Structure 1
Amino acid sequence: MAAISLAAPWILRRAVRTFSLPQPLLHLNPGSCFHGTHRPFTFPTSLRHTASGIRHLIQAVKGNFDDLLKGVGDKNAIEEVKHILEMARRASSRREVLHSDFLTPPVLKESMMALEKLADVKAVAQGGYPQAERCRLSVGHPELLTSDPDIVAALSITGNFGFQPCSHGDFLGSILGTGIAREKIGDIILQGEKGAQFLVVPELADYLITSLEKVGNVSVSCTRIPLLALEYEPPRTKSFKTIEASLRVDALASAGFKLSRSKLVNLISNGDVRVNWTTVTKNGTTLRTGDIVSVSGKGRIKIGEINSTRKGKFAVELIQYL
């Protein structure tokens, strides 16, 4: 019954007349790698053409909306997934296409898994290029969302970075320093001495072109470029193994970033450590295969294969992004 959770009054009236909806339609544009299954939906035969039946249907709508949120595996993403579902509800009721801000991979994944269970809703994820991590999500009725919306713009930052190289954090800090919220910015692609390219919501492109003047101490110019001009390549990584007594974040991150355990604990206390793009506050947070751990100013690592040793410890593969 989850498929009716976005039904507007006009859908409810039609539903009571027809007792069925078409299968959901879901589409992923390059920039996202999450795929789902399609499930048909049929109204329960207990609903009748009566006011009582409509009341029961409305109650079922609310209940199934709650059920979708209960199915979110990453509890840190619940509020943002709820916002996406509310956006989809509005898009369905108004028969229009609505767009989210840039979403982190965990939120995008959970949102797509929830939306795939809904009928009369099509979803398109776009990040600007195939390997994009942060993507925007467009939702609407399949009859309206017939082509990929133009919801991502690409900008290039150039300057004399040969003598003063700048990090991802330097570029991001300068962009945010113009007053733009983080969720309005997509991926940042570093280009060494040439500078960087990044994705942004189109309505803020002109503002950034005129407002972004420096990155660190380097004077820069910011220009708009076609998405096809983005110079991206698969991330470079190296992997190594460590033997640890536990899978706690302070233990694995300490090994992955070559930091002392006490230093890592201090970074967690300062809010500088994130797991799957969410700040962690507990040293004992347990990590699993596939988790991404990032430390401000230090980069990020991915947890690879985990095996138990004969002595009851854990042999963990750590994948470092270069």
Structure 2
Amino acid sequence: MAAASIPSPWLLRRAFQALAFSQPLHFNKNLSFYGNLRSFPFHNPLRSLGLCHIAQVIKGDNDVLLKGVGDKNAIEEVKHILDMARCAATRREVYHTDFLTPPVLKESLTVLGKLADVKVVAQGGYPQAERYRISVGHSEVLTSDPDVVAAINISGNFSFQPCSHGDFLGAILGKGIAREKLGDIILQGEKGAQILIVPELVDFIMSTLDKVANVSVSCTQIPLLSLEYEPPRTQSFKTVEASLRVDALASAGFKISRSKLVNLISNGDVRVNWTTVTKNGTILKTGDVVSVSGKGRLKIGEINTTRKGKFSVELIRYL
């Protein structure tokens, strides 16, 4: 009977992991999108907790960390990345995410910055990248930037048939590749485009992608330093509106009728911060990015209230 009451080695390991994760978390204010992020040592000795509280400890810590996530649409992805980081630190291994959208990236970096003894590196391939991959691991293991982003040059004669971002994206996704495996697409005008992708799919793309729209193409892997990019061109202007609803600001920003914008929302063609919106009355705030299929992107700038109670809004249109 006495032997039967001794916890198994597996259970003891889980107990230790739970106790380790139960320590106070310290936020690193030096987090950045480009540099190597700092590590955090434990500051207090382990507390004594019973094995029956293991699950509650892990779930409780997650609940506390995720409570600060501002974008509720990103919670599930951030939760998965948080679990990945803890697993990587415990096993002293390095794990990588797929390419993340800006809202998920931002929220994930904030949450991961509160974990002890975890190092985080975010890479998008070039300084102005929109989509990034995150690498997480124990600070003693993740000692350099992992090679998790590759670049491919897609060339062809696009002089007579220019292709859009959507054309290149559609051609790549048409090969069965998930969107999360693909980073930014940098258009090169008549020359074609350069794409960022996970390294393990480079050979597949180079051997299978032979056409974009009706243009025959060839693919070559290139170093990240060979990427050709320019700062995005924008046009800024102001509008005065009675509300901050997405249908009001987007119709003004894209210069289309409000009724047409409502139809686009109904068709699922409007996204706010890369998440499809379904309600015309969604309220926007400074920093939000509105995307409309076939129209491009719009960023909400400074918002001020007029004397008559309306809103003077700066709209930044990406050209």
Q: TM-score, normalised by structure 1?
A: 0.88
Work out the percentage of aligned pairs sharing the same amino acid.
Answer: 72
Report the CA distance between 1:9 and its aligned residue: 6.3
CA contact (8 A) 2:42 2:117 kept: no
1:13 and 2:16 aligned: yes
Report the CA distance between 1:212 and its aligned residue: 1.0
Residues 277/158 of structure 1: CA separation in 2 closer, same or farther (3 Å cut): same
SS at match of 1:242: strand
What is residue 177 of structure 1 aligned with on the other side? Answer: 174
Report the CA distance between 1:185 and its aligned residue: 0.3
Aligned-partner Cα distance in 2 for 1:158–1:205: 15
Aligned-partner Cα distance in 1 for 2:275–2:148: 25
CA contact (8 A) 2:89 2:118 kept: yes
Residues 96/38 of structure 1: CA separation in 2 closer, same or farther (3 Å cut): closer
2:203 counterpart letter in structure 1: D
Report the number of matched residues. Answer: 308
Report the CA distance between 1:58 and its aligned residue: 5.3
What is residue 207 of structure 2 aligned with on the other side? Answer: 210
What is residue 4 of structure 1 aligned with on the other side? Answer: none
1:89 counterpart letter in structure 2: R
Residues 280/35 of structure 1: CA separation in 2 closer, same or farther (3 Å cut): farther
SS at match of 1:294: strand
Report the CA distance between 1:20 and its aligned residue: 7.1
For 1:56-76, what per-residue CA distance to the aligned partner results, in whole angstroms no more than 9, with x for missing partners?
465333201121112111001
1:135 and 2:138 aligned: no
Aligned-partner Cα distance in 1 for 2:131–2:44: 36
What is residue 117 of structure 1 aligned with on the other side? Answer: 114
CA contact (8 A) 1:254 1:261 kept: yes
Question: Aligned to 2:220, which of 218, 223, 229?
Answer: 223
Q: Equivalences for 1:1-322 in 2 at 5 Å?
A: 10=13, 13=16, 32=33, 42-43=43-44, 47-48=47-48, 52-56=49-53, 59-322=56-319
For 1:217-260, what per-residue CA distance to the aligned partner results, in whole angstroms no more than 9, with x for missing partners?
11111111000000112111110111111100011100111111
Q: TM-score, normalised by structure 2?
A: 0.88
CA contact (8 A) 1:153 1:205 kept: yes
Residues 36/9 of structure 1: CA separation in 2 closer, same or farther (3 Å cut): farther
Deviating beyond 6 angstroms after TM superposition, the runs of 4 or more aligned structure 1 residues are: 14-17, 19-29, 34-40
2:168 counterpart letter in structure 1: F
Q: CA RMSD in A?
A: 2.8
SS at match of 2:232: coil
Aligned-partner Cα distance in 1 for 2:271–2:176: 23
Structure 2: segments with no counterpart, 5+ residues = 1-10
1:248 counterpart letter in structure 2: R
CA contact (8 A) 2:300 2:316 kept: yes
Residues 212/305 of structure 1: CA separation in 2 closer, same or farther (3 Å cut): same
Residues 59/11 of structure 1: CA separation in 2 closer, same or farther (3 Å cut): same
Structure 1: segments with no counterpart, 5+ residues = 1-7
Aligned-partner Cα distance in 2 for 1:243–1:24: 39
SS at match of 1:161: coil
